[in-house]
């Protein structure tokens, strides 16, 4: 699974995602925070390459660091997908992770493999091209991450979501939204470069512009 940039730059949110999964008894076999090369993101999302949102999706995954993991356990895929909720934030159950912490539509905090075969292929890809490694330290690294960031108690989700939804609803294409999103996304972003946060804010702004344009077609 991957905690996407909108989850990873918000440390408290990523700690909650991790804790929720570990509390279900899943074991962390590999854990890595990394910036994603474009070629890797393109391969990861190759099944979507003909879709109109493909380039945006690659921009999104490469905008700021992600946390990539291999998780193991009985019914792991089902457990993870149930905990995350439906793909689009507005469709996700409000008690699910995406329902609580997702931003809007496909800006949805995490990706999880949807079947054992997909997991096998994604693990092979991220191992060979992303430097992801199974390690006996992985579980401890994830636990330390949770311990470090669960306390922060900063959660800007509702403000970020409102900024995005209001901009779409009011056809607000102003670049001032990028500044607002950069500030909100940066409030709990220990260790993440300011320029990566701004790149993520720009990608979310591109999503807003796309939604406005689709709405008015
Ligand atoms: P994920 O589970 O990573 O799988 C593919 C991703 O594509 C999905 O989550 C969303 O982030 C994104 N996505 C799917 N459909 C759309 C869409 N219509 N517009 C924008 N992004 C999408």
Q: Which of 124, 149, 174 is the last residue of a domain?
A: 149
For residue 48, the model assigns a pLDDT of 98
d(CA 156, CA 193): 18
For the CA of 45, the closest atom of ligand 1 is 5
Residues 142 and 201 reside in one and the same domain:
no
For residue 150, the model assigns a pLDDT of 95
* Active-site annotation holds for 111: yes
Q: Looking at the DSSP assignment, which residues form a beta bridge with residue 32?
A: 68
Q: How far away, in angstroms, is 49 Cα from ligand 1 center?
A: 12
For residue 138, the model assigns a pLDDT of 98
Residues 30 and 102 reside in one and the same domain:
yes
Instruction: Indicate whether residue 87 lines ligand 1 (CB < 6 A).
Output: yes
Whether the Cβ atoms of residue 65 and residue 40 lie closer than 8 Å to each other: no
Instruction: Indicate whether residue 57 lines ligand 1 (CB < 6 A).
Output: yes
Residues 51 and 144 reside in one and the same domain:
yes
For residue 208, the model assigns a pLDDT of 98
Residues 80 and 129 reside in one and the same domain:
yes
Residues 10 and 73 reside in one and the same domain:
yes
For residue 152, the model assigns a pLDDT of 82
For residue 14, the model assigns a pLDDT of 98
Q: Which of 129, 149, 169 is the last residue of a domain?
A: 149
Residues 69 and 168 reside in one and the same domain:
no
Please state the domain count of the chain: 2
Residues of the chain with pLDDT under 70: none
Pocket test of ligand 1: the residue of 36, 86, 87, 110 to mutate, having most ligand atoms within 8 Å of its CB, is 87
d(CA 215, CA 189): 32
Residues 102 and 190 reside in one and the same domain:
no
Residues 62 and 135 reside in one and the same domain:
yes
Structural domain including 64 reads 2-149
Q: Which of 92, 125, 149 is the last residue of a domain?
A: 149
Residues 8 and 49 reside in one and the same domain:
yes
Q: Report in angstroms the alpha-carbon separations of 4 from 12, 36, 86, 111, 171.
A: 14, 10, 15, 7, 26
Residues 113 and 185 reside in one and the same domain:
no
Q: Which pLDDT tens digit goes with each residue over 50-107?
A: 999 999 999 999 999 999 999 999 999 999 999 999 999 999 999 999 999 999 999 9
Domain of 93, CATH number, reads 3.30.70.141
Instruction: Indicate whether residue 88 lines ligand 1 (CB < 6 A).
Output: no
């Amino acid at each position: 699974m991957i905690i996407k940039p909108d989850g990873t730059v918000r440390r408290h949110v990523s700690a909650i995602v991790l804790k929720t999964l570990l509390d279900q008894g899943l074991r962390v076999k590999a854990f890595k925070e990394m910036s994603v090369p474009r070629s890797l993101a393109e391969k990861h999302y190759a099944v979507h390459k003909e879709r109109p949102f493909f380039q945006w999706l690659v921009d999104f995954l490469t905008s700021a660091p992600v946390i990539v993991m291999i998780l193991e356990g009985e019914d792991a895929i089902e457990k993870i997908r149930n905990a995350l909720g439906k793909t689009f934030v507005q469709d996700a159950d409000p008690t699910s992770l995406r329902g609580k912490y997702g931003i809007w539509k496909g800006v949805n905090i995490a990706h999880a493999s949807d079947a054992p075969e997909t997991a096998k292929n994604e693990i092979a890809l991220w191992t060979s091209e992303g430097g992801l490694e199974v390690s006996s330290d992985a579980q401890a690294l994830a636990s330390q991450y949770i311990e470090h960031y669960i306390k922060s108690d900063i959660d800007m989700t509702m403000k970020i979501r409102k900024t995005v939804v209001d901009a779409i609803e009011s056809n607000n294409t102003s670049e001032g939204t990028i500044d607002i999103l950069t500030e909100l996304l940066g409030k709990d972003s220990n260790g993440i470069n300011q320029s990566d946060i701004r790149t993520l804010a720009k990608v979310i702004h591109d999503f807003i512009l796309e939604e406005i344009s689709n709405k008015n077609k």
